[in-house]
Amino acid sequence: MDTQSIVILDFGSQYTQLIARRIRELNVFSAVLPCTASLSEIQAYNPIGIILSGGPSSVYDADAPDADPKVLELGQPVLGICYGLQFIAHHLGGKVRPADKREYGHAEVIVEDAKTALFAGLPSHLHVWMSHGDEALELPAGFHRTAVTNNALAGIVNEDRKIWAVQFHPEVHHTPLGKELLSNFVFDICGAKGDWTPAHFIETTVAAICEKVGSDHVLCALSGGVDSSVAAVLVHKAIGDQLTCVFVNNGVLRKNEFAQVTQNLRDKLGLNLVPVDASDRFLAKLASVTDPETKRKTIGREFIAVFEDESNRIAEQTGGVDWLVQGTLYPDVIESSSVRGPSQTIKSHHNVGGLPERMKMKLIEPLRDLFKDEVRRIGRDLGMPEDILQRQPFPGPGLAVRILGEVTADRVAILQEADDIVVKEIKAAGLYSKVWQSFAVLLPIQTVGVMGDQRTYANTCAIRAVHSEDGMTADWAPLPYDVLKRISSRIVNEVRGINRVVYDITSKPPGTIEWE
């Protein structure tokens, strides 16, 4: 790759992605690689600097995550953070031990070496956030201390070898001047240009797609969601008519979504869009399925079947479809390459998985290096309308994973009505783009109620609203009581079949965002 980048080696810290974000906010591209990445994998990113992340292990543990110590000798500047500092000390001949006093949370750091470039322009006392139980007790030869807390060492450097390290976490919000420190590293030490802007990304991506695709034909599975819409517009910008987008009604879309999205994407984005109403096919396959994973897999398979049919159909006009566009994002990539190998399957995100191999199409994933907020920024730069960019994420398996128990046309219709009320009230309260997602879930539980002096025995609906940065972790959102009150009262009054509304107050972890 030609773009300058900072490579972050991940030792398993829960904040590794934050380091990447902070650096990207400085308009410098950064890539997270597992700590086990080979030197050639690292070099492929054209790094101008390397950051070693924190991590939960101790460097002296037998199974501690390890990187090739040669990363310290590549010639590019290195910044170690927490475990990263300990990794440097350990591998270059220092000593790391459990500390007498562990430090968790806020700490005050005194900068002893104000001349070192990492602390340039920063005050002599820094408020920082610590999270460690180990300590580098002896420094390797050629290193000296740059900062301390009243308990322990907080920073080291070897200027000759261009290696800096800090024991605290500059990437977290609780280290207020952390971004300035990272900026010192990236610009003053590594010499970054800071030219990784949306415009630059669009220009290089469009050029790369043109070169890759040539005169081939490309299919894009388009859901109207942010990711696939931005991906489609980027590819369309590159190859115009050679792109066909397919939007499938899988029978579990939201109320009026099929018609509205079709029109919106055609009118506002000018895409060549083929809407395929396959709702009967999907609902037939879903009949009597109640297990969440089986639902997801059933829907995934049916998506594949529909896309196969469509690509065969347009093959006659186009001479065959060679490429498939996917809206894969960076968290998807990182999640499947964690330090200790791919994480356990919690749910099968359908993500048109399996499609490429079976259809023999090659993949185009223009957004695979980006976070969702970055995707929205690219979309904005592409001139896409805000109502598309601000859409909350909606899972491919749709309402099927929000209808607990069997998915039937009747139950879909009930949930569509309830969901529509949630969306409208959240929008009316000005909260729609302030929360990550907000939606209704139809439970397989009937309860007794009383309406108009009549006994009712009907369904329960749960409301879920969460705050999140990337969907990987989430906090339940404390929606204002008056909003909840309007939602509840409207659902019970307006939706036939629901007589009780409850509110989900579970974060992720331990819950997940969707119920299935």
Ligand X SMILES: Nc1ncnc2c1ncn2[C@@H]1O[C@H](COP(=O)(O)OP(=O)(O)OP(=O)(O)O)[C@@H](O)[C@H]1O
Q: Which of residues 334-373 bind ligand XMP (CB under 6 A)?
A: 347, 349-351
- Shortest approach of ligand XMP to residue 468 CB, angstroms? 7
CA distances, 185 to each of 53, 155, 160, 170, 190 (Å): 14, 14, 15, 11, 6
Q: Is 227 annotated for ligand binding?
A: yes
Classified as helix, coil or strand, 302 is helix
Choose one: 130-138, 143-151, 256-264, 478-486; the region binding ligand GLN (CB under 6 A): 130-138
What's the CA gap between 316 and 311, in Å, rounded?
Answer: 9
Q: Is 223 annotated for ligand binding?
A: yes
Round the CA-based radius of gyration of the chain to a whole number and report it.
Answer: 26
Question: 205, 242, 250, 460: which one contacts ligand X (CB under 6 A)?
Answer: 250
Which has the closest alpha carbon to 346: 153, 516, 214? 516
Q: Does 225 bind Mg ion (CB under 5 A)?
A: yes
Contact 366, 205 (CB under 8 A): yes
- Shortest approach of ligand XMP to residue 254 CB, angstroms? 13
Choose one: 211-219, 222-230, 485-493, 506-514; the region binding ligand X (CB under 6 A): 222-230
- Give the alpha-carbon dihedral of 139, 144, 147, 150, to 10 degrees: 50
Beta bridge partners of 502: 462
Active site residue 467: no
Q: Which are the contacts of 428, defined by CB distance < 8 A and separation ≥ 6?
A: none
Question: 82, 126, 234, 286: which one contacts ligand GLN (CB under 6 A)?
Answer: 82
Q: Which of residues 415-454 bind ligand XMP (CB under 6 A)?
A: 437
Classified as helix, coil or strand, 505 is coil
Q: Does 394 bind Mg ion (CB under 5 A)?
A: yes
Return the one option of ligand X, ligand XMP, ligand GLN, none that residue 191 interacts with (CB less than 5 to 8 A, by type): none
What's the CA gap between 232 and 243, in Å, rounded?
Answer: 8
- Shortest approach of ligand XMP to residue 473 CB, angstroms? 9
What backbone phi and psi angles, to 5 degrees, belong to 34? -60, 150
DSSP string, 191-222: -------HHHHHHHHHHHHHHHHTT-EEEEE-
Q: Is 224 annotated for ligand binding?
A: yes
Choose one: 17-25, 127-135, 230-238, 455-463; the region binding ligand GLN (CB under 6 A): 127-135
Give the nearer residue to ligand GLN in terms of CB position, either 83 or 307. Answer: 83
Classified as helix, coil or strand, 150 is coil
Q: Is 229 annotated for ligand binding?
A: yes
Choose one: 76-84, 216-224, 233-241, 424-432; the region binding ligand X (CB under 6 A): 216-224
Return the one option of ligand X, ligand GLN, Mg ion, none that residue 13 interacts with (CB less than 5 to 8 A, by type): ligand GLN
Size of the site for ligand X (CB under 6 A): 20
Determine which one of 82, 220, 245, 461 is catalytic.
82
Return the one option of ligand X, ligand XMP, Mg ion, none that residue 327 interacts with (CB less than 5 to 8 A, by type): ligand X
Q: Does 394 bind ligand X (CB under 6 A)?
A: yes
Q: Does 297 bind ligand XMP (CB under 6 A)?
A: no
The three state secondary structure string of 416-463 is HHHHHHHHHHHHHCCCCCCCCEEEEEEEEEEEEEEECCEEEEEEEEEE
Q: Does 140 bind Mg ion (CB under 5 A)?
A: no
Classified as helix, coil or strand, 388 is helix
Active site residue 82: yes
Question: 225, 251, 366, 379: which one contacts ligand X (CB under 6 A)?
Answer: 225
Q: Is 228 annotated for ligand binding?
A: yes
Give the nearer residue to ligand X in terms of CB position, either 66 or 365. Answer: 365
What backbone phi and psi angles, to 5 degrees, belong to 228? -70, -30
Determine which one of 135, 171, 417, 514 is catalytic.
171
Give the nearer residue to ligand X in terms of CB position, either 298 or 499. Answer: 298
Return the one option of Mg ion, ligand GLN, ligand X, none that residue 14 interacts with (CB less than 5 to 8 A, by type): none
Q: Which helix (H) or strand (E) holds 306?
A: helix 292-318
Strands of the sheet with 273-277, listed across from one edge: 273-277, 243-249, 217-221, 321-325, 362-364
- Shortest approach of ligand XMP to residue 364 CB, angstroms? 18
What backbone phi and psi angles, to 5 degrees, belong to 418? -65, -45
Chain CA centroid to CA 306, Å: 27
What's the CA gap between 466 and 468, in Å, rounded?
Answer: 6
Return the one option of ligand GLN, ligand X, ligand XMP, none that residue 508 interacts with (CB less than 5 to 8 A, by type): ligand XMP
* Strands 362-364 vs 95-111: parallel, antiparallel or unpaired: unpaired
Nearest residue to the partner Mg ion, using Cβ:
225
Q: Does 327 bind ligand X (CB under 6 A)?
A: yes
- Shortest approach of ligand X to residue 202 CB, angstroms? 18
Q: Which tokens hold the place of 409?
A: 């046309």
Angle, CA 411 vertex, CA 407 and CA 414 arms, to 5°: 150
Active site residue 169: yes
Binding site for ligand X (CB under 6 A): 221-223, 225-228, 246-248, 250, 326-327, 351-352, 391, 393-396
Binding site for ligand GLN (CB under 6 A): 13, 54-58, 82-83, 131-134
Residue positions in the annotated binding site?
223-229
Residue positions in the annotated binding site for ATP?
223-229
Active site members = 82, 169, 171
Binding site for ligand XMP (CB under 6 A): 296, 347, 349-351, 393, 395-397, 437, 471, 508, 512-514
